[in-house]
Structure 1
Amino acid sequence: MKKAGGVLLALLAGCAPRLFVKPPGDPAAGVEVRWWGHSCFSFTDSAGRTFLIDPFDDSVDYPAPAVRPDALLVTHAHFDHAGFPGAAPEPLLKPPVRESAGDGDDRPAGGSPRRPAPPRWPYAIVRSTGTHTAAGVEVVGVSADHDDAGGRRHGFTAVYVWDMGGLRFAHLGDIGQTSLRPDQKAALAGVDVLFVPVGGKTTVDAAGAWVLIKEIAPRAVVPMHYGTARVRFFEFDPINVFLRDAPNVRWLEGDAFRLRRDDLTTGPAVLVPAPPGTVQKEIP
């Protein structure tokens, strides 16, 4: 990772795997959410526990996420969702392989060739479906189609649901289906804040996103995975296409915002963070 390398290595250098679990976050304090661009967000509760989900690689023209997470969640191993050390099944930052002197056969007496030990990242990693415990938080992952053809075009993505700081979050990854299956409905029951792709092309488009929103019925929606000046590789639809049908839009001044359960209304407010590193005013 070219842009990310210096920042990430500085963050990770000398880190040992964390062996302790932070206490639960205070619901009164809520959760600070930060949009790093595309589908990448970080979540930090009052205990200082930080989740990072779907970080992109350096082919996506946003600055690399400068965050040291307690848990890394990856919905699928595409370049725009798995660009962080340990995010892909084959680590993007591979440990050096020691070259042996002599005949090149580095094997112990009577044994097989030695292989480098797998890296131990200083955070929990969730990159599959099922029920996981990450940094003391239960994360439920269910499979979803990455397209509207049963996964035949783009494969599959995980959908993650977890509770943090008194809120239930759901990140739909690159979901491309608009009709939820029973297992997906069960996992998504009671979601407070929904992160949903809206740009189409390889995921649901604006209309499909609204179908999912109405079925899941969250209290707040954060759109993601849409076209911007920095995301042009698939010519995704821009955010205004999705917002045409949005009854309650809140343009956020910055890329970071705090969510508290008591501050959320019963209807789905659409929260639109500013592009990373900028300040925005309301856009008509």
Structure 2
Amino acid sequence: MEITWYGDTCLRLKGREGVVAADAYRSVVGPTGRGLTADIITYSHPDDTPPPVRPKGDRLNGHAAGFLRPTSLDPAFILDGPGEYEVHEVLINGVRTFRDDDKGRQRGLNTCFVYELDGLHVAHLGDIGHILDEDGLGEIGSADIVCVPIGSALTAAKAAEVATQVDARLIVPMLVGDGEAARGALDRFMHEMSVSHPTPVPRLSVTISTVPAETTVVILESRSRV
């Protein structure tokens, strides 16, 4: 499986069963999709800009779309809420969470998605803003890879705690925003994880046999300007 980061919480996951784009918002990939392609798109939370996908008949959960011209993401199944799904042989579990630690009263709802691709379980936490409770952690279940937002609602300490809660051996930070503030948030997260900065890589290529025995943080280069 290959994981590519497009900026903020937008990732592309490519496996034998299909290709998933997580949080492919217009604010990240522009009005034409910026060449990003996928069989399935998941949206963890409402965004201030609509996704770059025209309305289609083969959509799930009815996420609002507002583009009339073709994009690189047409056509794709869209998931934007909790539930258990199987699309293009990809198993996906959506778990209701929140974008703050006040049950969503301040910043709204969030959906954590767990994808099963190439026999690996990847937990994409979207824009989660709180420590997982026992129920949420149980619904997410066991994961090999966890993708956690850095620089949004979670402090560095809480982001590290959430990443540790999921108990995945590969941790992929998703840096929300850019500039000094974002880099500072990543530095603090790495300090909380007690690891040094690894060299950023263009993509994460991993199989069941290459998942490390010890917890490892992987920093991905952003394709947000590609």
TM-score (norm 2): 0.83
- The residue that corresponds to 1:182 in the other structure is 134
**1:257 matched to 2:207:** no
Larger Rg: 1
CA offset at residue 198 of structure 1?
Answer: 1.7
Give 1:274 shift: 1.6
Structure 1 residue 57 displacement after superposition: 1.6
Per the alignment, do residues 66 and 190 of structure 1 end up closer, same or farther by CA in structure 2, a change over 3 Å counting?
A: same
CA distance change for structure 1 residues 79 and 261 in 2, over 3 Å: closer, same or farther?
Answer: farther
Aligned pairs for 1:1-284 (under 5 A) are 31-46=1-16, 49-58=18-27, 64-79=33-48, 83-85=51-53, 89-94=63-68, 122-178=75-131, 180-200=132-152, 203-229=153-179, 236=182, 238-248=185-195, 249-254=197-202, 256-276=203-223
Evaluate the alpha carbon distance shift between residue 64 and residue 238 of structure 1 in structure 2; reply closer, same or farther with a 3 A threshold. farther
Match in the other structure for 1:28? none
Per-residue deviation, 1:145: 1.3
**CA displacement at 1:192 relative to structure 2:** 0.5
Deviation at 1:161, TM superposition (A): 0.6
CA RMSD of aligned residues (A): 2.7
CA contact (8 A) 1:250 1:269 kept: no
User: What TM-score comes out, normalization by structure 1 length?
Assistant: 0.67
- Rounded Cα–Cα distance in structure 1 between residues aligned with 2:113 and 2:28: 24
CA distance in 1, matches of 2:14, 2:29: 24
1:34 maps to a residue whose letter is T
Identity among equivalent pairs (%): 21
CA distance, structure 1, for counterparts of residue 126 and residue 185 of structure 2: 18
SS of equivalent to 1:51: strand
Paired positions, count:
213
1-structure distance, mates of 2:136, 2:81: 15
* Structure-2 separation of matches of 1:39 and 1:59: 9
CA distance in 1 between partners of 2:141 and 2:8 (Å) = 25
Paired residue type of 2:48? F
Give the structure with the higher percent helix.
2
The structure 1 segments of at least 4 consecutive aligned residues displaced by more than 6 Å after TM superposition are none
Structure 1 stretches of 5 or more lacking a match? 1-30, 96-120, 279-284
Deviation at 1:166, TM superposition (A): 1.9
